[in-house]
Amino acid sequence: MSATVISGKELAKEKRESMKKEVELLKKEGIQPGLAVILVGEDPASQSYVKAKQKACEETGIYSVLHKLDDSITEIQLLDAIESLNNDPLIHGILVQLPLPSHISEKAVIESISPAKDVDGFHPISVGKMMIGDETFLPCTPFGIVEMIKSQGIAIEGKHVVVIGRSNIVGKPVGQLLLNENATVTYCHSRTKDMKSITKQADILVVAVGKANFIDASFIKEGSVVIDVGVNRLDTGKLCGDVVYDEAKEIASFITPVPGGVGPMTITMLLFNTIQSAKKLVVSVK
Ligand SMILES: Nc1nc(=O)c2c([nH]1)NC[C@@H]1CN(c3ccc(C(=O)N[C@@H](CCC(=O)O)C(=O)O)cc3)C=[N+]21
């Protein structure tokens, strides 16, 4: 039997429609959610992601500003730009597009963003709160993945989740969020021995490696849920995930496609976090 395809694109569309209504109501209260995106340099992939984020803001009624900075900028200049956005009352969310040029410390930059405007959820304060289950901005890709799983009525509690990848922006936090939902979580990574024997036990397999065709059908348990976080641009220009989709689709019960899967949900949760941030301000003004 062929798996049910979880369309991130469709779910994103639904969520963005209801967020648009929420933004209209907020505007009536005199507040328009505002997102600032900082892009350093000319990387074509980063440029296209940033464009997609801006378009999504526009469609939802969120105010967005793009700060395009030359890649010769110094770290101090970038930190100054962030500081002025931290103090800008029209801005509720700040996103610095990663990766940054190698002469700039990503750690210093992330830590300079006010935790109150950290809509990416990358600041150590946000990460710590997520870890202990306190309310905070959740990182957009992991948050989007949890929403996709829940949208299908799939129970997470008690399930064996296997995450392949341990990056700070996807692998580690997606495991933590699913643990918070009472899953049993195992992490696999480049030093894992006999990865297949572990992934074969996964009820929910999250693949965040960044290598095209890394996971074929032989790694997947019959009837499992396969979440493909990979965004790999092939030489042909085609975008593909980390999973051999056509094979996996015949074994899994649910699968996310690339494109049209996790990517559009990442942007949607960024909009969600920006609206949440603006709402906190409304409450504090009242
Ligand atoms: N501070 C920061 N926050 C991020 O959230 C962040 C980042 N830096 N750096 C880069 C990654 C990557 N990322 C994606 C978002 C959407 C799609 C997306 O919507 N992809 C479409 C296809 C897009 C295309 O065709 O190129 C899809 O999968 O259907 C992909 C990748 C956010 N990132």
pLDDT tens profile 208-229: 999 999 999 999 999 999 999 9
Which amino acid, residue 181? E
Digit-coded pLDDT (tens) for 33-76? 999 999 999 999 999 999 999 999 999 999 999 999 999 999 99
Tell me what pLDDT residue 283 has. 66
Tell me what pLDDT residue 284 has. 66
Q: Where are the beta strands (DSSP E) in 43-132?
A: 63-69, 93-96
Could you tell me the CA-to-CA distances from 85 to 32, 37, 148, 179, 278 in Å, in that order? 16, 10, 32, 34, 14
Residues of the chain short of pLDDT 70, as ranges, are: 282-286
Taking the centre of ligand 1 as the mean of its atom positions, its distance from the CA of residue 55, in whole angstroms, is: 13
Q: What ipTM does this complex have?
A: 0.96
Tell me what pLDDT residue 162 has. 99
CA distance linking residue 204 with residue 162, whole number of Å? 6
Tell me what pLDDT residue 96 has. 98
Q: Which residue lies with its CA nearest to atom 2 of ligand 1?
A: 97
CA distance linking residue 159 with residue 71, whole number of Å? 45
Q: For the chain, which domains are there?
A: 30-114 (3.40.50.10860), 140-262 (3.40.50.720)
CA distance linking residue 201 with residue 205, whole number of Å? 9
Cβ neighbours of residue 231 closer than 8 Å, sequence gap 6 or more: 210, 239, 241, 258, 263
Taking the centre of ligand 1 as the mean of its atom positions, its distance from the CA of residue 97, in whole angstroms, is: 10
Taking the centre of ligand 1 as the mean of its atom positions, its distance from the CA of residue 11, in whole angstroms, is: 16
Cβ neighbours of residue 105 closer than 8 Å, sequence gap 6 or more: 75
Within a 10 A sphere around the Cβ of 73, how many other Cβ atoms?
A: 18
| Predicted model pTM | 0.97
**For all residues of the chain together, what is the average pLDDT?**
97
52 lines ligand 1 (CB under 6 A): yes
Tell me the binding residues for NADP(+): 165-167, 231
The minimum-distance atom of ligand 1 relative to the CA of 141 is 5
Say whether 216 is catalytic: no
Tell me what pLDDT residue 204 has. 99
CA distance linking residue 153 with residue 225, whole number of Å? 12
